[in-house]
Structure 1
Amino acid sequence: MTLFDPANKNRSERHRRIYAAYELGYTLVDFSAALLFLVGSVLFFYPSVETTAIWFFVIGSAAFGLKPTIRLIRELHYVRIGDLDDLEAASKR
């Protein structure tokens, strides 16, 4: 199995479930990061909450860093289960 091959998500029903779960997490992180940046941007209009705005940007940046991490973990999850699914499919032939 090759890492980051788009066909990996369709290798089995288990792969499809894993893909869906990780995509949900990825999307939640993506929306969270965007929301944090939007709120942080608005807060910069008010000097009294500038420190809070900075923290929103820092946390939003960390969320953006989570996105590729989620994708890598999903691919490693595929690799971890890949051999077992291949063996199971071979045993049914």
Structure 2
Amino acid sequence: MSFFERDRGIRTPGQRKLYALYELAYTLIDVSAALLFLIGSIMFFDKSLENPAIWCFVIGSVFFAFKPILRIVRELHLASEGDYDDLARRFRG
């Protein structure tokens, strides 16, 4: 099994739990970013709220940037849990 496969995290109960926690974090980041963009968009209707709206967009963008980083961290964490055979196969070609 290679990196970023959907069934990657379901080999052991510990890996299933770890995978579920990462998916929960990923979803929370996604929802937070979407809400910040929605709030920022609504705030733009009022000229006096333009600066806070811009900050909502900036912070939302940071959350969106965390998503791929979190996926990479998850894959490395699962690999460190003992899934060395798949990792070795990837590097052998």
Classify the TM-score, shorter chain: 0.7 to 0.9
Distance 2:68 2:30 in 1: 11
Q: Which residue of 1 aligns with 2:66?
A: 66
Residue 11 of structure 2 corresponds to: 11
Give unpaired runs (5+ residues) of structure 2: 85-93
TM-score of the superposed pair, with normalisation by structure 2: 0.84
TM-score (ref. length: structure 1): 0.84
| Percent of residue pairs identical | 52
Match of 1:2 in 2: 2
Q: Which letter maps to 1:46?
A: D
Cα distance in 2 for partners of 1:83, 1:38 equals 40
Q: Which runs of 5+ in 1 are unaligned?
A: 85-93
Summarize deviations over 1:50-80 as a string: whole Å, max 9, x none: 0110000000000011111111111000100
Matched, 1:44 2:44: yes
Structure with max Cα Rg:
1
**Runs of 4+ in structure 1 over 2 Å off:** none
RMSD: 1.3
Provide the aligned length of Structure 1 versus Structure 2: 84
Q: Distance in 2 between matches of 1:37 and 1:44?
A: 11
SS state of the match for residue 3, structure 2? coil
